[in-house]
Structure 1
Amino acid sequence: MKKILLLMMAIVVVSLSSCDEGVSNGRRIYKAYFKHILKDPDSFTVYDEKYTKDGEYTVNWELDYGAKNSYGGMVREQVSFTTIGNSIFIDGTSYDVRDFK
């Protein structure tokens, strides 16, 4: 009985994790984008994150984040953007995750 219960739990975990593949991939992409453009990438902090899925790989994001500017002061901003596959569409421009390597 325990083996069947463990097997069922494993199946549920795998199926739930695959449902959010677009979200986890989008999160990876936006973190890479902000780490690439910020003056102090280590100061990047997400205060609030909201998203809506539009298909399997398209995610629309609303992000409230903060980071240090070139003077060392913490600046907080809100931004909306979209991630599709390995791309981020922000401020009218499209970037591929390979651009941040």
Structure 2
Amino acid sequence: MTINNKQPQPSIPINKIKRFEDFFRLFQEKPTEFKYRDKISKIYAEGENILEFLFEDLNAFDPALAEMLKNNPEDVIPDIIEAFKNLLKFHAPGG
């Protein structure tokens, strides 16, 4: 006879926006080279509003987040956009 007394673990919501902000701020292609942070600085300086990133970079940085994007893009893309906007605001005067 087997008794399983494990209680189901409550689902802990993850903050996808924060995780994408971390990816954009912290991803390094080489030591001391922050690929997307530098791109966002350039985008802000040039008054642009488009950021492209490689799925492979996201997968290397946060495989679980990459999997969420792959499986549910319609749910994740708004969080990517919000993270990008938040980081652009950081570059704005007073941001």
TM-score (norm 2): 0.28
The one of the two structures with greater contact order (alpha-carbon pairs below 8 A, sep at least 6) is: 2
TM-score (norm 1): 0.27
Q: Which has the higher strand share?
A: 1
Q: Which has the higher helix share?
A: 2
